[in-house]
Chain A
């Protein structure tokens, strides 16, 4: 139990385009999901908290208009990187809460 999936696992896009990443809790419902970003050889940094049925809350320094989060159901949260730039290239990881946080496998984004 407590499996979290992400799609896609990796994506390459051109600068200026938008990319959507999905996070699903496969065998449990999660009212709260989290989105993290991880740069090479660094730790995970929390970007935002995704709340089902309400607006996401963003950590300091994270642009809400650039990283759009939608928590449409108890099993799905999406992160859309709008007008992506090369500096947005990173490893994006989501987690879903069920007593503790269970993490997805991550999505590697490369913006050319």
Chain B
């Protein structure tokens, strides 16, 4: 079945640093979504990507839909303490509205 693998699994960075994480799949996706989950909360949508090659920003966040449709990248610039959380990529399984979620990247920011 379709799987989404994220890397890195976790990262510790200093406040002010830029962060890059990625999500890869063994199969093609037509939509990529990036969510952030705070402890004890539901995921919150950060960025949605709908076209191969698309580059979209949301404040300090930038995400790209990989040209092969099998990967996506999320960058966070000038990280701040509230960026702490788990970042998930997600995409709809082929032909449905059902999402599968990536394995997650756990981000910790050191002040």
**Which residues of A are at the interface with B, using a C-beta cutoff of 8 A?**
4, 6, 32, 34, 43-46, 49, 91, 93, 95, 97, 100-106, 108
Contact = CB atoms under 8 A, between A and B. Distances in A.
A100 B43 contact: no
Contact of B45 (A93, A100, A104): A100
B97 A105 contact: no
B67 interface: no
B42 A100 contact: no
A64 B42 CA distance: 23
A100 B103 contact: no
Given A100-B33, A100-B48, A44 B98 contact: no
A101 B99 contact: yes
Contacts of A43: 88, 101-104
A103 B40 contact: no
A32 B98 CA distance: 10
